[in-house]
Structure 1
C-alpha cells in the first residue's frame, strides 16, 4: 500500500498521533473533485461548535482562503498558501500575533489545515524556470477538499439541532404560560384540588431554568412542565365533568312529578332503615368547612409538629392547618394525585389531619404516599375514620410526656 509523506512541524511545535492521522486521511482521500472554497468555509462556520472553533479562528481561515487564487479548490492546483503572520493579521482585521498563532493552532488541531513547514520555519514558495510554483511551505488547504462532505453533514446536523432548539423553546414557553393561567383559574375560583402544591411545583420547575439552556435542558424542563400541565388539566376536566353531572341530576329531578305529596311516607320504615344502613359505609365526609367532631385544638395536641409549618411557626385556623399540610406532604414525598384523592374522600381538612398524623409517625412509615393512598382507599370503603387515628396519637403523646417527666 502506498503512503504519502508525513511532515512534522518546525521547532518546538509537538507532533501528535492526531496530526499524523489527519495527514494520512487527507493523503488517502480521493481529491478528484473541485469545491467552492467559500461554500466549504460556510459549512465549517456553521459547524464550528462541533469542530471546537472560535469566531476568530474562522476569521483567520477566511484570511487563509483569500490568499488562494480563484474561487475553487482543486487537487491539481497548488493548495498551499504561504502568507506571513503580518499579512494574515492585516486580513484578519488586525488580530494580535498571540491570538493569531492560537487560532492557527486551533485550525490545525481541528484538521481544517495542515502545516507544511520549511527547514527554517519560514513560509515561502520556490518557483521554476517557467514561473510556476515547484514547491511551497505554509498551510495546506487539502483537508477542506477531503472533508468537504463531512463539514456539510455537520453543518446540516447543527442546523437541525437549532431548529429543534427553537421548536422546543417555543413549546416550553406555551406550556409554561398555559400552566400558569390554569393554576390561577383554579385558585381564583376556589375549585377543588391541590392548587397550592401545583403552584409550588410550577415555581420549582421554573426555578431550575438556566440562563443559557441547552437542548437537553429545554427538553427536560418541557417534560416536567408538560406533566404538570396534564395534571392540572385533568383536575379541571374532572371538576367540569362533576359540574355537568350535578347539573344533569338537578335537571332530571325537575321532571319528576307526583301529585301525592305524602308518597315518601308510604315507604315501610324497616325498608328505609335498611337502605340507610346499606348506604352509610360509602357516605363521604363533607369536603368543606371545619370537621364538627374534632376541635382544632385537639388536632394540634395530637399533631404538634405540623404547627412549625404554619405562619410564624404556629397554626390558628383550619385554613392555616391545610396550608401547612400542603408543605408537609411535599416534604413527605406524597404525590399531588394521592393528596388530591385524599381531599376528595376525606375533605381538605380531613386530608390535613391525616398528613399531620403521618408526619408524627414518619419514622415508622416506609412510604408516606403509599400509606396515605391506603388510608384513602379504606375511607372510601367506609373502613377508616380519623377519630381512632387522632385518639391513638393523643395517647401516644400523653405517654411520651409522662415518660419524659
Structure 2
C-alpha cells in the first residue's frame, strides 16, 4: 500500500499481465509525433463522436419533446447545463484512459473488492441493456412511422444490425468512426431542415438558454428538467470513452500523454457541442410548433411525428423527424455494443466473440420489447422507453463517483491528477447528478 498525505492507505493500480481495453483496436490508429496541431487534432478526432452518440439517443427525445411542448424554450438552459456537465465528465474519462492505460471498468476491478466489482458489473450490464432497449424501441418506432411497419416487426428487424456492426469492426476502427459521424451528420441535417420549417422565434430561443429560477419554483418544470439531465449524462459513455481514446498510438511519455489529453478533450468537447445542437433542436422544434399552437401535452415520439405535418404544413418535417430517429437508434447501437464489450472484459475479464456478445445484449433488449408490444401495443413501448431511462438513472452514480475519485487521486494519476478547482467542480457536478437522479427515480416510482 502507498500512504497519501493524510496517512491513509491508498491502493495503487495492480501490476498484472492483462490484455488492453478493446485489444483488437488498441493503439491501431496512428498519431503523428510531429506536424501541425491541426494534423494531430484530425488524428485524434473520432472517439468523441462515438461518445456524443449516447447524448442524442432515442431515450433523450421524449423529455426534450415534452419539455418544449409544455414550457416552450424555457428548458433550453437545462440542456445547456447538462451538456456542460457531460463535457467535464467525458474529459475526465478520456484522461483516465490516456494516463493509466486502463478503462474505467478495469480501474474499478483493480481498486475494489471482488463482490463490489461484480455488483458494479451487473449494474452496468443492466444499464447497457436499458440503453439498447431504448435504441430498439426508437428504431422500431421510426420504421413504423416511415413505412407503417408494425412495432413488433420493427423490434425483430433490429436484431439483424449485429451483421452491420461486425462488418464495420472488421474494416477497422476508423471506418466505424466515419460511419458514426455520417449518421450524426444525417441527424443534424434532418433537424436543420425541421428548424427551418418550424421558424422558431430566435430572440425567445436565446432567452431560453439563460438560467431561470422559475424552473426551481415550478414542480412540473423541475421534474422535466431533472428528466432531461438524467437522460443526457449516460453512464456507459464514461466506460466507453476511457477505452476508445486508447485506440490512438500516442507516445507513452508524460509529454505524449499531456498532448493526447489535450486533443482528446478538444475532440469530445466539439462532438458534444453537436449533441447540444441536436438536443436543443428537438426541444426548439417542439416549442415552435406544439407549444406555439397551444398543444402543451405532446409527450411521445409518435404523437410528435403525426402532429408536425398539419402544424408546419408539409410532410417533409415529419419525414425528416423520423429519419433522424432511425439514424439515432442505429448510431446508439454501435456504441452500446462497444460499451458492452468493454465492461464485460474490464470488470470480470470475460471475453466473448463479438457476434455472441452482440446477440446476447440485443436479445436482452428485444425480449421485453416484444412481450410489452404484444400485450400493451404501441403505448406500452413508450412506457418501456421511459422505464429504460429510470434504469440508467440508477446506474449513473456508480460510474460517476469512481471516475471522479480515480482522476482525483495522485496515487493513481500522478502529475495528471485533477487540479483543486477541477476536483471541486467535478465533485459538485457528481453530487448534483446523484441527487437529481435519486429525486427523478423516487418521483417516477411514485407516479
Task: Report the TM range for the smaller structure's normalisation.
Answer: under 0.3
TM-score normalized with structure 2 length:
0.19
TM-score by length of 1: 0.21
Identify the structure with bigger relative contact order (alpha carbons < 8 Å, sequence gap 6+): 2
More helix by share: 2
